[in-house]
Structure 1
Amino acid sequence: MSTQQAAVPSEAAQTRRAVSNILKGSAGNLVEWYDLYVYTVFAAYFQSHFFNSKDELQAGLEAMAVFSTSFLMRPIGAWFFGRYADRKGRKAALTLSVTMMSAGSFAIALLPTTQQVGVWALVLLVLVRLIQGFSVGGEYGTSATYMSEAATSKRRGFFSSFQYVTLIGGQMLALLVLVVLQNFMPKSDLTEWGWRIPFAIGGVAALVVLWLRRSMEETVSAEQVQAAKAPVAAGEAQPGTMKLLFTQYWKPLLICIGVTLGGTVAFYTYTNFILKFMNDTSGIDKTDTSVINFWALFIFMLLQPVYGIISDKVGRKPLLLWFGITGVLFTWPLLSMLSNTKDPFTAFLLMMGGLLIVGGYTSINALVKAELFPASIRALGVGLGYAIANSLFGGTVPLIGA
């Protein structure tokens, strides 16, 4: 009896500790993805300051091309931060990534325009975007690894789903800032200088997360960190290295890339590109499309833990099958109907239909990938697999769509 009573507080304490660590880890994820998405939702307002084209469509294409360049740095960021996390610890890598993202956000908020420094404005913008892409490339794999390791064993699906709660939350926050500024600032002011505000907000928020992450617990033991630094016998590969990944874990890496491919295109289509798609094809007012996108993403965000709980009950495979089958069958019809509607509520329902499909992937994909690798190579394997697929397919969705 006393043993059972003693076990209850221990389990409760474990849950409280897991919740605390998940919140601290995921808060950085929210800020990282807010900073990433704020570029796309405000591109229409700042593109004239960096791109010389007087054709609005051409300037938009150039802005999306710069957005795509950040994806080129993701594999490099995944390699650097994955190795760093597997050899130095998850906490150290997550702290460094959010520091870099904060610096990038402040830099964009202060960038000079082409009217001030000519072509150097565009060069600086591309450089900052590359740094942010490098940072995000490291954040995904490391945070996915951290959340899967910090979660309690019986609720791993539920806790790991918060990676996409915060990822979606970051985009939603970017949309909220857009809607607020659209409603409280004249368009001329928003185009002239107001577009800098959201980047400054991201920089400040990242500093807050940096403070929070100082107190998060490490999920890798000191012994594991020391073992990663220890010399190995001739012919053997050290933990957290590309040699170990490609010689012993190349099959899980290919699976990780494969799982990410379809999910990446679907996710960016329904959460990122779809706002521009509605603006260009539906005839619905831009302010209305922003509101539609915001509320659809809000519901989508709330559904992530629900999908996670379901995966803890029935397993991960049924949700992935749901995503794959319904995605193939319904994505094209949904987009076709969306392009032909002028009714905001119909557009909202169509967008939600797509997001319900994608939820089968987003809620559990980080955990599925983390479970493919042992701790000694997990952050590198998850991060690199994700980054390779994203570099090839994710960054080109807005550009191809445009």
Structure 2
Amino acid sequence: MAGSKRLDPRRLAGSHRRRLTVDDITVVDPDTLRRAVAAAAIGNTMEWFDFGVYSYLAVTLGKVFFPSGNPAAQLISTFATFTAAFLVRPIGGLFFGPLGDRIGRKRVLATTMITMAAGTFSIAFIPSYATIGLVAPALLLVARLVQGFSTGGEYGGATTFIAEYAPDRRRGFMGSWLEFGTLTGYSMGAGLVTLLSAALSEQSMLSWGWRLPFLVAGPLGLVGLYLRLRLEETPAYEKITADKKQSDEQKPKRHEYREILVGEWRAMLLCLGLVLVFNVTDYMLLSYLPSYLHAALGFGETPGLLIVLVCMVLMMVVITFAGRISDHLGRRPVLMAGCIGFFVLSVPAFLLMRIATVGTIFAGVLVLCLLLVCFTSTMPAALPALFPTKVRYGAMSIGFNVSVSLFGGTTPLVNEALISATGSTMVPAFYLMAAAVIGGVAVFFMRETARKPLRGSPPAVSSRREARDLVAAQRP
């Protein structure tokens, strides 16, 4: 434990009525932890591979699935279909989240994995508007709704899974790998689309090239399913379900919705605010920005794709380091730095982009992407810690998906519509500033959770020696 911050046993006193023993403390096996992180992250990789492909193909998909005529109308229609998937995510969260608290995280995450992959894979086989008319966008909408429903149980479950496996003093670092998976998936999707766009003619892309990225979802989903089925349940979940004679207060209940919405209303409000700033910034920069650079600023489509892709790769380089920082400094300082940064620097960054040279666009995008790392590195650890173990999956899935549906997933559509209505290309900057204010308020009111046990769970450590040190450090 040299060189790292120890868990402070005085912080644990309020959650235990008796002195801790070594048997009370969860000792996490390192190999199992690595497999758990990989299995959880593969789902985020799958989800964001789809987002990357869909976002980077937005212009092409508009031409394939919607009537020709007005390019702006085609783009808005494409983003409307993109947004529709987010409208059903709360329904998926309501279904999968409490189910994960009742029957276990592992089985539900395996189900969401294969359903997500099937929804994405099926898009590759939908005929174009020129072939079957309005049936084409209708089928695209159905596939997106399947994706949205299954994704409703994905992120809440994945963050819960990693948080419940990770040692308390390393939860930020371990959680950051989940968003590393996000960036990996998005970069894979964006990179594949960029490669195809450079290698194929526009006619070939419209005819068959756009289908290739969606076909990748099939084997990727099977790999994720295999990884998830090999895992055991999280130690925290096993502890609250092991004893069949445990009290009703300890058991996951069937009236979870009331317990979540009434008993955890304060945590839910904080979750909504934190997810709002996290996802507005996330979807603005990673999903919408490539289309914004091309449609609003007239910048070349392929150079714009490459700039955002390079910035995502740079985010991958620093994200796990930022996760470690949140373990040492705390979640609140890192999150607040991100909120303040977006409020102060959004306008300057977009003014740089409006100059529309490669250098100025790269500088503006990079500044915002590095600020985004404050959220991507820290939220996977901060959000699950808001809720107790017995309702964590359900509460996370409901709170996260309601906020994403209302604010995150609508970001591309709302910004495109506002730019069309106002004629101002600075709308996205003001949108980011507003999100930063709301997020800052949520961060101000949240409690610090770094290096502390999860609510409703005993301390979790990396070794028996660390457990013995923690017990010995208690006050008599």
Tell me the TM-score normalized by structure 2. 0.78
Letter in 2 for 1:224: I
Structure 2 partner of 1:319:
334
Shift of 1:333: 2.2
Query: How has the CA–CA distance of structure 1 residues 157 and 231 changed in structure 2, closer, same or farther, with 3 Å as cutoff?
Result: closer
**How far apart are the structure 2 equivalents of 1:25 and 1:240?**
27
Structure 1 partner of 2:73:
58
Structure 1 partner of 2:92:
77
Shift of 1:341: 2.5
CA RMSD for the aligned pairs?
Answer: 2.3
Structure 2 partner of 1:179:
194
Match of 2:375 among 361, 376, 382: 361
**How far apart are the structure 2 equivalents of 1:314 and 1:222?**
30
**How far apart are the structure 1 equivalents of 2:301 and 2:176?**
31
Shift of 1:232: 5.3
2:155 equivalent to 1:122: no
Structure 2 partner of 1:93:
108
1:137-166 per-position Cα deviation (integer Å, ceiling 9, x unaligned) = 211100010011111222111000111111
Match of 2:289 among 257, 262, 274: 274
Query: How has the CA–CA distance of structure 1 residues 128 and 251 changed in structure 2, closer, same or farther, with 3 Å as cutoff?
Result: same
2:180 equivalent to 1:139: no
Structure 1 partner of 2:240:
224
Query: How has the CA–CA distance of structure 1 residues 322 and 191 changed in structure 2, closer, same or farther, with 3 Å as cutoff?
Result: same
Letter in 1 for 2:283: Y
Letter in 2 for 1:90: R
**How far apart are the structure 1 equivalents of 2:147 and 2:244?**
28
Query: How has the CA–CA distance of structure 1 residues 262 and 75 changed in structure 2, closer, same or farther, with 3 Å as cutoff?
Result: same
Letter in 1 for 2:122: A
Shift of 1:354: 0.4
Structure 2 partner of 1:251:
266
2:122 equivalent to 1:107: yes
Q: Equivalent residue of 1:110, what SS?
A: coil
Unaligned 5+ runs, structure 2: 1-21, 417-476
Q: Equivalent residue of 2:127, what SS?
A: coil
**How far apart are the structure 2 equivalents of 1:335 and 1:261?**
20
Tell me the TM-score normalized by structure 1. 0.91
Percent identity over the alignment? Answer: 29
Match of 1:35 among 50, 75, 96: 50
> What stretches of structure 1 move > 6 A for 4+ residues in a row?
226-231
CA contact (8 A) 2:56 2:305 kept: no
Letter in 2 for 1:371: A
Q: Equivalent residue of 2:73, what SS?
A: helix
**How far apart are the structure 1 equivalents of 2:102 and 2:127?**
39
**How far apart are the structure 1 equivalents of 2:134 and 2:104?**
40
Structure 2 partner of 1:167:
182
**How far apart are the structure 2 equivalents of 1:172 and 1:240?**
40
1:250-296 per-position Cα deviation (integer Å, ceiling 9, x unaligned) = 11111100111122211111221111111124443211111111110
Shift of 1:116: 2.7
1:274-321 per-position Cα deviation (integer Å, ceiling 9, x unaligned) = 111111244432111111111100111222111100011111111011
Structure 1 partner of 2:325:
310
Larger Rg: 2
Letter in 2 for 1:288: P
Mapping of 1:251-400 within 5 angstroms? 251-342=266-357, 344-400=358-414
Q: Indicate the structure with greater helix content.
A: 1
Letter in 2 for 1:209: G
Structure 1 partner of 2:222:
207
